[in-house]
Amino acid sequence: GISSQLVFIERLVGADDPNAVPRSPGPSLRAPEPWGGLPRGRGKRRQQSFVSKLRDKYGPVYTVYLGPRPVVVLCGLDAVKEALVDKAEEFSGRGKISIIDKIFQGYGVAFSNGQRWKTLRRFSLATLRDFGMGKRSIEERIQEEAQCLVEEIHKTEGELVDPTFFFNSVTSNIICSIVFGNRFDYRDKMFLTLLSIFNETFTLMSSPWGQLFELFSGIMKYLPGVHRRVHSNLEYVNNFITQRVESNKKSLDPNSPRDFIDCFLIRMDKEKETLGSEFHMRNLVLTTQSLFFAGTETSSTTLRYSFLLMLKYPQVAEKVQEEIDQVIGQDRPPGLEDRTRMPYTDAVIHEIQRFSDLLPLGVPHIVTQDTHFRGYFLPKGTDVYPLLSSVLHDPRHFKRPDSFDPGHFLDARGNFKKSEAFLPFSTGKRICLGESIARMELFLFFTTVLQNFSLASPVAPEDIDLTPRESGIGKVAPPYQLRFLPR
């Protein structure tokens, strides 16, 4: 969905002076709609028709106002791919998210730019690979965590539960094992506090107040509001990470790094005499924060949507379980090698990601140099929003873009079919660092749960509401309860 996610592109401030706007696309270089002119509903169909109207009126590239400043919006696969892939270097800058900028301020792998970003991304990718990203060791960690999840679910004894805690715990433990070198017990008080903070922060960032802050941060930063809670939450996590770093320092063996933090500390020591080195405490803490937060919240929210959609469409869940029984059976846990032999399940997981549309706006980009794009001139520093939602709902690539249909990823013979418009992790130089981990988690956690449990809802499928709890920078799944019934 789009209109409510775009309160900060939704609450457009029109400008009558075209000279006040950079030479970027848009009719008369002004906002396409007046203040308050956009639809307020959160229904997916209404939002998509809203985006279609803007695209029909102004084309796939147009200018809107984020408060007083213009931003360029990219709609549909062609425009997004042309910018982020064909002109990858020019569009590789990271824009600010105002509500968390006070914490990051251009440091850490997620929100840095230029040489700092290149250095941190190169190091982070190499280190994640060393700890098994995309390799067998991570698969084994996820399988072990999945079995812990099954044991924990069995303890519910078929009672109604909100699954949020389960999915937060398992996804967080995978990234914790890489970043901190250990998983946490599901009853660990600090672990529970951190999970609660992540959940609250993602919700606040995506709330109407969080979006309003993106519009008027220049004024609102001086006032009370949710931004202060977001800042205090992230500071709490930073303090936790700092304590872990200090603990690691005391027992560090340069010849045997235990985790991401150790690897960064070793590199810090090597470059301690290097002028302008990016390997310092601030980048360590904020890179760890980025990996920790993103590695927990996005996969967890996708899993929450996964099982909500299985409750809404029980016939899909039954077909997935049939495929699990045929390919895997009940005598061994699912493994990644099973995925190629499970085209229907693979298609369902892809459709869950497409339909749930977790980061509809994409994370903001800026152009790194003066750039000509589709006949328009974008000065260096221009903010750009590649609307991933418009790609995942592009009717030229998905026959029923507003419907949940695993057939979008199946051919006529029932084989898995890729789609170039499947970009939930974005694309180009800023593609999600943890894509391969996330894909492994979704497959293994989803199939392991459905191998062991059937799902039951207290609400009839036709009455299950898929409307997000919040819809802004990200989508927050609506709260729901279900029963896990042992198979």
Give residue 312's pLDDT: 98
CA–CA separation, 303 vs 324, rounded Å?
A: 18
Answer positive or negative: Cα dihedral of 98, 387, 69, 8. Answer: negative
Q: Could you say which DSSP state residue 61 is in?
A: E
Token pair of 94 as six digits:
């990271």
347 C-beta neighbours (distance < 10 Å), count: 23
Distance CA(125)–CA(127), nearest Å, equals 5
Distances (CA, A) of 101 to 216, 231, 246, 381: 14, 9, 25, 16
Structure pTM? 0.90
Cα–Cα distance, 211 to 40 (Å, whole number): 14
Is the predicted pLDDT of residue 317 greater than 60, yes or no? yes
The confidence score (pLDDT) of residue 65 equals 82
Stretch among 139-143, 441-445, 454-458, 470-474 having the lowest mean pLDDT: 470-474
**N-term to C-term CA, the chain:** 35
Q: pLDDT digit string (tens) for 126-141?
A: 999 888 766 668 999 9
More confidently predicted of 37 and 339: 339
**3-state class of 47 per DSSP?**
helix
Average pLDDT (64-77) is 87
Contacts of residues 431-436 at CB distance under 8 Å and 24 or more positions apart, as own/partner, are 432/294, 433/109, 433/121, 433/124, 433/125, 433/128, 433/291, 433/294, 434/128, 434/133, 434/175, 434/291, 434/294, 434/295, 436/133, 436/134
pLDDT digits (tens, 9 = 90+) for 10-34: 333 333 333 333 444 443 334 444 3
Distance CA 231, CA 239 (A): 12
| Least confident residue range of 188-197, 205-214, 264-273, 344-353 | 205-214
Highest mean pLDDT among 57-66, 212-221, 346-355, 358-367: 346-355
Q: Any residues with CB less than 8 A from the CB of 64 and at least 6 apart, and which?
A: 9, 12, 26, 31, 32, 70, 71, 73
Q: Binding site membership for heme: which residues?
A: 432
The predicted pLDDT at position 55 comes to 79
Confidence (pLDDT) at 12: 37
CA distance 68 to 221: 16
pLDDT in the model for residue 158: 95
DSSP character at residue 461: G
Does pLDDT of 258 surpass 50? yes
* Cα 120 to Cα 102: distance, rounded to the nearest angstrom: 20
Binding site members: 432
Q: For residues 474 and 466, is the Cβ–Cβ distance under 8 A?
A: no
pLDDT at 42 over 70: no
pLDDT band at residue 121, thresholds of 50, 70 and 90?
A: very high
Region 98-358+395-486: CATH code: 1.10.630.10
In terms of phi and psi (left: phi > 0; alpha: psi -120 to 50; beta: otherwise), the region of 158 is left
36: CB partners within 8 A, 6+ apart: 11
CA distance 215 to 205: 13
Amino acid 41 reads G
Q: Which two tokens stand for residue 474?
A: 């990200």
Mean pLDDT of the chain: 89
| CA separation for the pair 435, 433 (Å, rounded) | 6
- Please give the Cα distance from 154 to 483 (Å, whole number): 11
Distances (CA, A) of 248 to 125, 178, 266: 21, 14, 11
Q: What is the pLDDT of residue 197?
A: 95
Work out the percent of the chain whose per-residue pLDDT is above 70: 89
**Average of per-residue pLDDT across 338-350:** 99
For the chain, the structural domain boundaries read 98-358+395-486
Question: With 60 as the cut, is the pLDDT of residue 44 above it?
Answer: no
Q: Cβ–Cβ contacts within 10 Å for residue 203, how many? A: 18
Q: How many CB atoms lie within 10 A of CB 278?
A: 21
Say what the pLDDT of residue 56 is: 79
Half-sphere exposure of 221 (CA within 13 A, CB side): 12
Q: What percent of the chain has pLDDT over 90?
A: 77
Helix/strand/coil for 281: helix
Q: Are strands 383-386 and 69-74 parallel, antiparallel or unpaired?
A: parallel
The token duo for 68 is 């007083």
Q: Is the pLDDT of residue 426 over 60?
A: yes
pLDDT at 456 (0 to 100):
98
Q: Are 304 and 449 in contact (CB under 8 A)?
A: no
More confident residue, 5 or 119: 119
Element (H, E) at 63: strand 61-66
Reported as a single tens digit per residue, the pLDDT across 210-226 is 888 988 888 999 999 99
pLDDT band at residue 473 under the 50/70/90 scheme: confident
Instruction: Tell me the C-alpha distance between 128 and 239, whole Å.
Output: 23
